[in-house]
Amino acid sequence: VQLQASGGGLMQAGGSLRLSCAASGSIGSINVMGWYRQAPGNERELVATITNGHSTNYADSVKGRFTISRDNAKNIVYLQMNTLKPEDTGVYYCNAEGWSMNGSRYNYWGQGTQVTVSS
C-alpha cells in the first residue's frame, strides 16, 4: 500500500489549507485513515482519524477548526484546516490501517507534507 499526501504549504495565521492523501496498491480493505503531525523537537501526534463508516476523532487542539473526510470509493482522505495557528506548523503524515487481500492486517504511513503557519 502506498500513501501519497499533498496540499501542504505556507500560510498565514487565520488562513486555510486542504490536505489530501490517496492510497494505492494492494489496498484490500482500509478501516481507519488518519492524519498525524510532528513539529520540530516533538513526537508525532494524532490530528484526526476517520473510519470507513465515517466516524471521526479529533485532537482537542484542532476541534472546531479541522475537518477530516474520506472518499471510500477513491481511497482518499482529506483534512480541511481552517483558522490555522502557528502551533499547527509541522510535517503532516497520513496513515491507513486495514486488511490486505490475504487477510493480514497492515498499517502504513505516507511520506509527509510540510505545513508552515506564519504569525
58-90, pLDDT tens digit by residue? Answer: 999 999 999 999 999 999 999 999 999 999 999
Mean pLDDT of 86-111: 95
What's the confidence (pLDDT) of residue 27?
86
Is residue 1 within 8 Å of 23, Cβ to Cβ? yes
Q: How many CB atoms lie within 10 A of CB 108?
A: 16
Whether residue 1 is predicted with pLDDT greater than 90 in this model: the reply is no
Whole-Å CA distances, 22 to 27, 73, 81: 11, 11, 17
Mean pLDDT of 36-57: 97
Mean pLDDT of 28-41: 95
Q: Which three cell numbers stand for residue 101?
A: 487481500
Give the strands of the sheet with 17-24, arranged side by side.
2-6, 17-24, 76-81, 66-71
